[in-house]
């Protein structure tokens, strides 16, 4: 059983210590507010730790029937999308992210149907190209082109 | 007067009218979709408004906020699920009315009540905010410091599940606000060697991360829901008939609007609290108490009037003192700061034209939204059925593009995702994202106020006298203490009442 309050308290105390260690080199007026915040944070972390020890509360990270696999895969897809954006550019990476998420979140029977794949591809391409058009040409925001396409 | 004339010309500028309608319709759609909140939609929209003139951007944001408050009652009435937490009380009578075959009347009552609430709320915002902003002129660094502390005490209310964890999240937000070059002293703090972080944490990336990503992950975690929308056939003449019926109840509408405005002004208390209090009062003062909960238009009028007037109420402390009355107001505060507009008297002098444009645009927004919702609810109801496999990637896409577009910096996207994942985990541990964001926003005000007060105190020869000896500071300290004590007292009173009920039940069983 993971004690939610104690674990949070320990993490907060560790963070306060790291913050304190880092702030040692600051000058007086840059340090004063940081020091107060770190003291408050340490006190709150300590209180959480004690609360967790006095009245332990088990951490229930996932609710019953939670789609853990989908959440973990979404987290990985988003991390991959962010990593690929500067390399393959906005259009390709966005279509890939949108399409993959559409398929991942479709119900398992629908996932196997060709219609779902076609819909997902059409929606992904339409939305990405529409936003690219608006941002690049109307709002003049330069979206990442991708390092493999430059030079 | 000059500002008002400027505001009117700005509001009726064709481009701004289009933006107001677009924002409003987007707000209604967001309100219609259970699981999406007005705060999240505002956070997503702010980066897109950054390239616009400040007045246009604020008109669009105001339209969206109002639209969401109009739209959230549609699913509450048609599928018994509130679109946002503010419409919880609307389900009490909205859904029973729809089941009786009176869905159209319920939707018209929602539109008309929201219109009344919006108009009364805007009049209050217009009349109360300038004198309050004048008071802001008397503020020096100590007052700004205490004002920031007072703003932070909202945490007690928004994190009522665990005040301790709420305070911890607020302190974490304060610590995050110190990342970058310190305002007085000039040291580079906690940047981990990353140059873009020297300018501090990008507020918009943080807002999108903290409010949108956890919500998306929670939607994925719980999976898609199939909603059964109650269908109805439009009848002619119902609009006039329903409005006539509601106009005959001016006291109910006025009382509910005032409850909404007052609750909105109180930092931290949002639309859900306002509509519940208003519903409670409507039941208490009604001659037909038995009809409530079984489907009465009075129930919808009470909740939706209060729910909509909260919008303007929550903007009063934000525009005048920089204290956001709700998480949504905190996002609008972020938008103001991004446009270089500091809350307070400056908003009514230097930026008077823009501020009055923003305030007066609410009049038009509520009228436009009234027609959209009263006449187009059937269309918006279809939005409830958007498949979530398209909705979720859409929100993710907007989150990424929104956090990137502000500075064209991929580090902001990375930061947004990190904040989003952290907020998701923190929520699991019972920490509140709203409290953390509040700390992040209030941090710079608090730090500058504190350090400048210390400098003033040293020059004057007594730091305590500067920090604790000024009249406005004392009032703010008192308000902060009250604000901290109130949720603790409420929790204690609730526990006592619960204990009494349990004891009575025990006696009955024993007897």
d(CA B274, CA B19): 29
Strands B180-181 and B188-189 turn out to be antiparallel
Of A27, A103, A140, the CB nearest to B187: A27
The pLDDT of residue B156: 61
d(CA B420, CA B394): 16
d(CA B59, CA B361): 6
d(CA B109, CA B239): 9
The pLDDT of residue A75: 93
d(CA B175, CA A144): 32
A145 is a domain residue: no
Q: What is the ipTM of this complex?
A: 0.91
Helices B38-49, B388-405: axis angle to 10 degrees equals: 40
A148 is a domain residue: no
Largest CA distance in chain B: 76
The pLDDT of residue B270: 64
Q: Are residues A22 and A35 in the same domain?
A: yes
Q: Which of A78-92, A112-126, B222-236, B319-333 has the lowest mean pLDDT?
A: B222-236
Say what percent of chain A tops pLDDT 90.
50
Of A32, A70, A140, the CB nearest to B220: A70
pLDDT band at B80 (very low <50, low <70, confident <90, very high): confident
Q: Which of B8-17, B63-72, B319-328 has the lowest mean pLDDT?
A: B319-328
SS (H, E, C) B402-440: HHHHCCCCHHHHHHHHHHHHHHHHHHHCCCCHHHHHHHH
Q: Which two tokens stand for residue B507?
A: 């006696």
Q: How far is CA B10 from the centre of its chain?
A: 25
A144 is a domain residue: no
Residue A99 domain boundaries: 68-138
The pLDDT of residue B135: 72
Looking at A41, A63, A85, which one is the last position of a domain? A63
Phi first, then psi: what are they for B188, rounded to 5°?
-90, 120
d(CA B446, CA B424): 27
Nearest chain A CA: its distance from B123 CA (Å): 35
**Start-to-end CA span in chain B (Å):** 73
Nearest CA in chain B to A86: B410
Q: Are residues A11 and A31 in the same domain?
A: yes
Using DSSP's 3-state secondary structure scheme, residue B249 falls into coil
The pLDDT of residue B10: 82
Of B51, B182, B405, the CB nearest to A30: B182
Q: Which two tokens stand for residue B332?
A: 């609008």
Nearest CA in chain B to A98: B393
Q: Are residues A14 and A42 in the same domain?
A: yes
Helices B54-71, B14-32: axis angle to 10 degrees equals: 30
Q: Are residues A73 and A112 in the same domain?
A: yes
**Rg of chain A's alpha carbons, rounded to an integer?**
24
> Does B75 have pLDDT greater than 90?
no
Residue-wise pLDDT for B228-285, tens only, equals: 666 676 777 788 888 888 888 889 999 999 888 887 877 656 667 778 788 888 887 8
pLDDT band at B454 (very low <50, low <70, confident <90, very high): very high
pLDDT band at B491 (very low <50, low <70, confident <90, very high): confident
Of the candidates A77, A75, A115, the residue with the CA atom closest to the CA atom of residue A95: A77
d(CA B457, CA B475): 19
Distances (CA, A) of B196 to B114, B200, B436: 44, 8, 22
Task: Out of B91-95, B153-157, B158-162, B175-179, give the one with best mean pLDDT.
Answer: B175-179
Residue-wise pLDDT for A2-55, tens only, equals: 778 889 999 999 999 999 999 998 999 899 999 999 999 999 999 999 988 888
A109 is a domain residue: yes
The pLDDT of residue B311: 84
The pLDDT of residue B160: 57
B417 neighbourhood in chain A, CB within 8 Å: 78-79, 82
Helix (H) or strand (E) holding B470: none
Nearest chain A CA: its distance from B388 CA (Å): 8
Neighbours of B95 (CB within 10 A): 21
A97 is a domain residue: yes
Neighbours of A70 (CB within 10 A): 17
A15 is a domain residue: yes
Can you spell out the DSSP letters for A59-76? ---S-TT--HHHHHHHHH
Q: Are residues A11 and A38 in the same domain?
A: yes
Q: Are residues A53 and A73 in the same domain?
A: no
Asked whether B121 and B257 are in contact (CB, 8 A), the reply is yes
The verdict on B397 touching A (C-beta cutoff 8 Å) is: yes
Cβ of B414 and A94 within 8 Å?
no
The pLDDT of residue B383: 67
Looking at A13, A45, A63, which one is the last position of a domain? A63
The pLDDT of residue B226: 57
The pLDDT of residue B82: 73
The pLDDT of residue B158: 60
Q: Which of A57-71, B246-260, B350-364 has the lowest mean pLDDT?
A: A57-71
With a CB cutoff of 8 Å and minimum separation 6, the contacts of B285 are: B251, B252, B255
> Does B8 have pLDDT greater than 70?
yes
Neighbours of B441 (CB within 10 A): 25
A90 is a domain residue: yes
> Does B403 have pLDDT greater than 90?
no
Residue-wise pLDDT for B174-225, tens only, equals: 999 999 999 888 899 998 888 888 888 888 788 888 888 888 888 888 876 6
Can you spell out the DSSP letters for chain A? --BHHHHHHHHHHHHHHHHHHHGGGS-HHHHHHHHHHHHHHHHHHHHHHHHHHHS--B---S-TT--HHHHHHHHHHHHHHHHHHHHH-HHHHHHHHHHHHHHHHS-HHHHT-HHHHHHHHHHHHHHHHHHHHIIIIIS-------GGG--
Asked whether A34 and A19 are in contact (CB, 8 A), the reply is yes
A143 is a domain residue: no
The pLDDT of residue B216: 85
Q: Are residues A72 and A133 in the same domain?
A: yes
d(CA B213, CA B416): 8
The pLDDT of residue B501: 74
Predicted TM-score (pTM) of this structure: 0.77
d(CA B245, CA B242): 5
Q: Are residues A27 and A88 in the same domain?
A: no
Of B175, B189, B421, the CB nearest to A75: B421
The pLDDT of residue B229: 64
Looking at A36, A63, A90, which one is the last position of a domain? A63
Cβ of B401 and A135 within 8 Å?
yes
SS (H, E, C) B89-143: CHHHHHHHHHHCCCHHHHHHHHHHHHHHHHHHHHHHHHHHHHHHHHHHHHCCHHH
- Which residue has tokens 């959440």? A71
Contact residues, B window 11-50, toward A, CB-based 8 Å cutoff? 48
Q: Return the higher-pLDDT residue of B444 and B501.
A: B444
**Start-to-end CA span in chain A (Å):** 55
Say what percent of chain B tops pLDDT 90.
13
The pLDDT of residue B227: 60
Q: Are residues A80 and A118 in the same domain?
A: yes
> What's the burial of B236, exposed, middle or buried (CB within 10 Å: 0-12/13-18/19+)?
exposed
CA atoms within 13 A on the CB side of B106: 34
- Which residue has tokens 């539109």? B111
d(CA B434, CA B455): 32
Q: How many domains does chain A have?
A: 2
Cβ of B222 and A31 within 8 Å?
no
Q: Are residues A77 and A95 in the same domain?
A: yes
**Tell me, what DSSP letter sits at residue B338?**
H
A30 neighbourhood in chain B, CB within 8 Å: 182, 184-187, 189
What is the length of chain B? Answer: 511
Helix (H) or strand (E) holding B181: strand B180-181
Q: Which of B9-13, B83-87, B133-137, B389-393 has the lowest mean pLDDT?
A: B133-137
**Tell me, what DSSP letter sits at residue B188?**
E
> Does B294 have pLDDT greater than 60?
yes
What is the length of chain A? Answer: 151
Mean pLDDT of chain B: 83
pLDDT band at B113 (very low <50, low <70, confident <90, very high): very high
> Does B392 have pLDDT greater than 80?
yes
Q: Are residues A52 and A82 in the same domain?
A: no
> What's the burial of A66, exposed, middle or buried (CB within 10 Å: 0-12/13-18/19+)?
middle
Using DSSP's 3-state secondary structure scheme, residue B83 falls into coil
Nearest chain A CA: its distance from B223 CA (Å): 7
The pLDDT of residue B269: 61
Q: Return the higher-pLDDT residue of B346 and A15.
A: A15
Mean pLDDT of chain A: 87
Q: Are residues A59 and A10 in the same domain?
A: yes
Cβ of A74 and B446 within 8 Å?
no
Q: Which of A21-25, A117-121, B133-137, B413-417 has the lowest mean pLDDT?
A: B133-137
């Amino acid at each position: 059983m993971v004690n939610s309050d104690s674990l949070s308290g320990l993490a907060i105390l560790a963070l306060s210590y790291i913050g304190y260690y880092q702030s040692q080199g600051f000058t007086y007026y840059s340090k004063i507010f940081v020091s107060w915040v770190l003291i408050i944070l340490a006190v709150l972390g300590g209180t959480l730790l004690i609360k967790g020890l006095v009245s332990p509360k088990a951490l229930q990270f996932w609710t019953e029937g939670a789609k853990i696999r989908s959440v973990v895969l979404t987290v990985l897809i988003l991390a991959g999308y962010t990593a690929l954006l500067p390399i393959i550019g906005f259009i390709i990476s966005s279509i890939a992210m949108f399409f993959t998420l559409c398929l991942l979140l479709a119900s398992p029977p629908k996932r196997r149907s060709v219609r779902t794949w076609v819909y997902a591809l059409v929606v992904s391409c339409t939305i990405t190209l529409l936003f690219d058009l608006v941002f690049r040409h109307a709002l003049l925001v330069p979206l990442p082109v991708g390092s493999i396409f430059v030079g | 007067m000059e500002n008002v004339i400027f505001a009117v010309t700005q509001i009726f500028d064709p481009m701004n009218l289009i933006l107001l309608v677009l924002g409003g319709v987007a707000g209604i759609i967001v309100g219609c979709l259970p699981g999406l909140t007005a705060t999240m939609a505002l956070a997503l929209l702010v980066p897109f408004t950054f390239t616009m003139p400040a007045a246009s951007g604020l008109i669009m944001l105001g339209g969206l906020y109002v639209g969401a408050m109009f739209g959230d009652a549609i699913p509450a009435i048609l599928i018994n699920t509130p679109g946002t937490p503010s419409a919880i009380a609307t389900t009490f009578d909205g859904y029973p009315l729809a089941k009786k075959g009176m869905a159209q009347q319920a939707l018209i009552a929602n539109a008309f009540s929201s219109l009344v609430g919006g108009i009364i709320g805007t009049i209050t915002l217009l009349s109360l905010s300038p004198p309050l902003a004048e008071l802001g002129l008397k503020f020096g660094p100590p007052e700004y410091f205490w004002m920031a502390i007072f703003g932070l005490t909202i945490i007690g209310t928004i994190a009522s599940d665990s005040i301790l964890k709420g305070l911890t999240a607020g302190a974490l937000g304060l610590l995050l606000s110190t990342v970058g070059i310190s305002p007085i002293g000039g040291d580079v703090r906690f940047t981990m060697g990353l140059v873009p972080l020297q300018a501090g944490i990008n507020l918009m990336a943080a807002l999108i991360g903290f409010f949108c990503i956890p919500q998306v992950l929670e939607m994925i975690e719980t999976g898609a829901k199939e909603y059964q929308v109650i269908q109805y056939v439009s009848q002619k003449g119902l609009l006039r008939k329903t409005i006539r019926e509601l106009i005959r109840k001016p006291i109910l509408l006025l009382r509910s609007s005032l409850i909404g405005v007052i609750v909105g002004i109180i930092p931290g208390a949002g639309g859900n609290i306002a509509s519940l209090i208003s519903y409670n009062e409507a039941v208490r003062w009604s001659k037909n108490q038995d009809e409530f909960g079984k489907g009465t238009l009075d129930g919808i009028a009470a909740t939706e009037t209060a729910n909509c007037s909260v919008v303007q109420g929550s903007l009063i402390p934000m525009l005048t003192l920089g204290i956001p009355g709700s998480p949504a107001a905190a996002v609008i505060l972020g938008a103001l700061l991004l446009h270089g507009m500091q809350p307070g008297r400056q908003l009514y002098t230097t930026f008077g034209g823009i501020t009055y444009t923003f305030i007066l645009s609410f009049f038009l927004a509520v009228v436009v939204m009234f027609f959209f919702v009263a006449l187009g609810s059937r269309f918006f109801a279809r939005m409830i059925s958007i498949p979530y496999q398209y909705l979720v990637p859409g929100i993710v896409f907007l989150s990424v593009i929104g956090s990137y577009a502000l500075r064209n910096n991929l580090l902001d996207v990375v930061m947004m995702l990190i904040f989003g994942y952290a907020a998701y985990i923190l929520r699991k541990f019972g920490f509140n994202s709203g409290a953390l964001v509040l700390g992040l926003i209030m941090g710079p005000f608090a730090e500058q106020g504190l350090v400048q007060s210390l400098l003033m105190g040293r020059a004057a020869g007594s730091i305590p006298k500067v920090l604790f000896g000024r009249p406005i500071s004392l009032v703010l300290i008192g308000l902060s203490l009250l604000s901290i004590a109130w949720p603790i007292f409420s929790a204690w009173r609730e526990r006592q009442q619960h204990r009494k009920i349990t004891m009575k039940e025990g006696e009955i069983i024993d007897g």
